[in-house]
Amino acid sequence: MESVASVVTQVRDFLSALTSTEAKLAWSAIVLLVAILLTVVIVPRVIRRVWSLFTDRFVGGRIVAGANVLDQYVPTTAPSLLVRGLQSVILFGAGVALLVVWGGMTEAWDLLVLLKDSIPMLTQLLLTIGLAIGAYIAIDQLEQAIDRISQQADWMTDHQQEIVVRMGQLTILVVAGLLGLTIWNINLQGLLVGAGFLGIVVGFAARQTLGSIIAGFVLMFSRPFTIGDWVQIGEEEGVVTDITIVNTRLENFDGEVVVIPNDRVSDKAIVNRSERGLLRLRVDVGIDYESNPERAKEVALETIKTIDVIADAPPPQIVPKAFGDSAIVMEMRFWIDHPTPPRKWNAVENVVTSVKSAFEREDIKIPFPQRELTGRAESGGFTVRDAGAGSPESSSRSTHESASGDGRT
C-alpha cells in the first residue's frame, strides 16, 4: 500500500507541474508516439522472433501438428493472438495515461479498479470461449477420424458410423458442459442429485422408449440387418429403409411404411433374405399319373437352366415330393442372386410360364383336379343318360367325372 501511495503522490506532483495546455499536449504526443511504436513496430517483431526461437528449440512434431489443426478452425495464428493481446494492453495503458495527463486521475483510478474487479470474470469468459472452440474442434476431428475408420473397415455401416458419431458428439458436449459449469463455480453436486432424481422419474415414465433405445444400440452392434436388406421381422416383411436408435422402418410390398419399435424387433425372429446374396425359391408343379416323372424332371430342369434370372450355382433341382389327388407333385428348386422382391417374382413368373410351355411341347400333361366316382354293385351301378338319344342306359361300370377348377395341382 505504501508503494501505491507513493506512486499516487508522484503522479499528483507530476500533474501539478502540468499547468499549461502546451505541456499536456506535449506529453499526450509522447504517450501516443510510444504506444504506436510499441504496438506497430516493437511488439510484433519481438513476438515473432521469440516464437520462432521457441518453435525451433522446444516444440516437437505433435505440438506443430496440433497448431496446424488449430489454424484450420481459428482464422489467426498463436503469434498473432499474442500480438493482438499485447497491443490491446498497450492501448489500454495509453488511454489511462492520457486520462492522467489531462487531469482525469479519478476516472483513471476508477477504470483500473473496474479492470481489476473484472479480471476473474474476463478470465472465466475467455476460458469458456476457449472451451467452446475446443469442443467444436474435437467434434469435427472426431467425425473425420470415424469417417477414415469407416472407409478402411468393411464391418462399419453408414448407420453404425452415424450412431458412433452421435455418441461421440454427446460425450464431448456433456464433458464440455460440466467443465463450463466448473469454470463458473456452479455446484455440480446439486445438479447431479437433481439429474439422478429426474432420471428415475423419466425412467419409469418412458421405460418403453428407453428399452427401444437400448435395443437400438444392441441392433447396432449385432447387425442382423442393414438399410436396403429384405427382411421379415415377426409377421412383417419388407425392405429396411431406415434404422434409428428408437425404431426400424420397413417398406412392404404394397408401398406401406411399417415402423417397428426396436424393443419389438429384438424380441422377434428376424429372417434376412439379403445377407448371403443368394435366395432359394420353390415352385410346385403337378404332372399326370400317366406321364413319365423322369422325363418331366429332365424337361423342367433344362428349361429352368435357360432362364437368365436364375443363378447357375447352386444348380436348380427338381424333386418329386408327393402323390396328389390328381397329379404327381414335383417341387422345382432354384436360386437367385442379389435377392429382392422384384427379382423373386420375376424369377417365379419366368419359371412358371417357361415350364408350362415346355410341358405342352413335350406333351406332358398338367392335369386338372379329377374325381373318380364308383357305383355300388348292390344299387345297380350308375345310370348314364344319353343327351342325344334321350333314353337312359344302365351301366354297372365305373365312370370318371372331370371338373375344371381355378388352379392346378
Residue 256 sits in a domain whose CATH number is 2.30.30.60
In this prediction, residue 395 carries a pLDDT of 41
The β-bridge relationship of strands 278-287 and 236-243 is unpaired
In this prediction, residue 251 carries a pLDDT of 92
Query: Would residue 125 count as lying in a domain?
Result: no
Kindly tell me the burial class for residue 20, based on how many C-beta atoms sit within 10 Å of its own C-beta (0-12, 13-18, 19 or more). Answer: exposed
In this prediction, residue 120 carries a pLDDT of 86
Query: Would residue 140 count as lying in a domain?
Result: no
Claim to verify: residue 72 and residue 33 sit in the same structural domain? yes
Claim to verify: residue 376 and residue 310 sit in the same structural domain? no
Highest mean pLDDT among 15-19, 333-337, 388-392: 333-337
Stronger pLDDT, 127 or 78, i.e. the higher one: 127
Query: Would residue 233 count as lying in a domain?
Result: yes
- pTM listed for this prediction: 0.51
Minimum mean pLDDT among 200-214, 245-259, 283-297, 375-389: which range?
375-389
Stronger pLDDT, 205 or 259, i.e. the higher one: 259
In this prediction, residue 9 carries a pLDDT of 66
Minimum mean pLDDT among 103-117, 166-180, 203-217, 388-402: which range?
388-402
In this prediction, residue 379 carries a pLDDT of 59
End-to-end CA distance of the chain: 112
Beta bridge partners of 248: 243, 260
| DSSP state for residue 42 in the 8-state scheme | I
- Residue 222 host element (H or E): helix 207-222
Average of pLDDT values for 101-122?
A: 80
In sign, the C-alpha dihedral spanning 169, 175, 177, 179 is negative
Average of pLDDT values for 283-296?
A: 91
Classify 122 in phi/psi space as left (phi over 0), alpha (psi -120 to 50) or beta.
alpha
pLDDT band per the 50, 70, 90 thresholds, residue 383: low
**How far apart, in whole angstroms, are the C-alpha atoms of residue 235 and residue 38?**
80
In this prediction, residue 409 carries a pLDDT of 35
Domain that holds residue 237: 210-272
In this prediction, residue 4 carries a pLDDT of 56
pLDDT higher than 80, residue 391: no
DSSP readout, 269-323? -EEESSSSSEEEEEEEEEE-TTS-HHHHHHHHHHHHHT-TTS-SSSPPEEEEEEE
Average of pLDDT values for 124-151?
A: 88
Can you read off the three cell numbers belonging to residue 81? 493472438
Query: Would residue 95 count as lying in a domain?
Result: yes
Query: Would residue 128 count as lying in a domain?
Result: no
The number of domains in the chain is: 4
Query: Would residue 173 count as lying in a domain?
Result: no
Claim to verify: residue 224 and residue 292 sit in the same structural domain? no
pLDDT band per the 50, 70, 90 thresholds, residue 356: very high
Average of pLDDT values for 166-187?
A: 87
In contact, 364 and 287? CB cutoff 8 Å: yes
**What are the residues whose beta carbons fall under 8 Å from the beta carbon of 142, sequence distance 6 or more?**
165, 168, 169, 172
pLDDT higher than 90, residue 18: no
pLDDT higher than 60, residue 393: no
